[in-house]
Amino acid sequence: MAVVLAILQYCSLLLAHCQSRAFHYPIMGFCAPPKPWERAGAEGTSGPSPFKPPSGGSTSDVVEASGTAKPGETIAATEGNMSANVNNPISRPMPQRPWQQTGYGNSYGGTGYGSNMYSSVGGYGSTYGSGGLYGNSMYSSYGGGGGLYGGSGMYGGGMYNSGMGSSYGGYGMGGMGGMGGMGGMGGMGGMGGMGPYGNPDPNSFGPPAAPPGFWVSFLRVMHGAVSFFGRVAFLVEQNTQAFYLFITAMLQLFDRSGMLYGELARFVLRLLGVRTKSKKGRVQGAEAPAFEGPGQQLFEAPKAANNSWDNVWGN
């Protein structure tokens, strides 16, 4: 009996040791070398300290002594397994859920869906190594439309020849500075959300976890999209000037495209036989047929040419 007890005791000791090992980091014993400013002769130059004198003891004790401690306060609803982690003093690292498994692409090699997505997008450097899209289009100004479209072409090259890829390519086109690049990244946004599908869990034991239900995965995709755009928004915020330039460029683009569509519309209307009269036309030559165009007159014929037109029609 005593032997059994001893073995049990030994085992529990061993277990406790194993459990505590991972988290037993000596707090005060082994510390970084003294900082340069802590050495003798490196005293500060200022007068009396504006702060309350420091307290003794560890930071946790100091906070608890001050009555401000509120351990484990979560900011929003946390996940269930976290509360267990909080209450258990000897906690184990929380095992990651299957969709949290990370890795350099290898962990994404699951079903065809996941692996294709990630091999084409996440392949470091290949899809958007600094040489390609990013390098030449991102920092060129918005004017060079053709070259910038090259950015979307990159995404269009593979499986992104879809609405998503091209629309974000559009961002890149309008873009400037960081905007273009980020816009280009948009294609990834959806992808990040898709990731959860079919990632095998290399550390899990037993059968693979059941695939998440439709709503779960849908919400996860939504979460990915929302957090992605949240981060874009933050980046934009931190680059207010860049954002301003981006908006200015977009407005200019719309302005010009508006002119273009105006011209196209006029052309089509003329083909259809609708007579449009512009103010200038009426002023300069009310008798001239609209089709021959006071507009053309304005563009192609300088003032002296008015006479030649008059000759053609008048006499």
Residues 227-246, interacting with another protein (CB under 8 A): 227-228, 231-232, 234-235, 237-242
- Does 123 engage in binding with another protein (CB under 8 A)? no
- Does 62 engage in binding with another protein (CB under 8 A)? yes
- Does 274 engage in binding with another protein (CB under 8 A)? no
- Does 296 engage in binding with another protein (CB under 8 A)? no
- Does 254 engage in binding with another protein (CB under 8 A)? no
**Closest CB 141 distance from another protein, rounded Å:** 16
- Does 52 engage in binding with another protein (CB under 8 A)? yes
**Closest by Cα among 145, 193, 141, 140 to 169:** 145
Nearer to another protein, 58 or 306 (CB): 58
C-beta separation of 151 from 169 below 8 A: yes
Q: Which of residues 175-204 bind another protein (CB under 8 A)?
A: 178, 181-182, 185, 188-189, 191-192, 203
- Does 205 engage in binding with another protein (CB under 8 A)? no
- Does 311 engage in binding with another protein (CB under 8 A)? no
- Does 207 engage in binding with another protein (CB under 8 A)? no
Q: Which of residues 141-180 bind another protein (CB under 8 A)?
A: 178
- Does 252 engage in binding with another protein (CB under 8 A)? no
- Does 308 engage in binding with another protein (CB under 8 A)? no
Q: Tell me the window of 36-44, 158-166, 269-277, 282-290 that interacts with another protein (CB under 8 A).
A: 36-44
* # binding residues, another protein (CB under 8 A): 82
- Does 300 engage in binding with another protein (CB under 8 A)? no
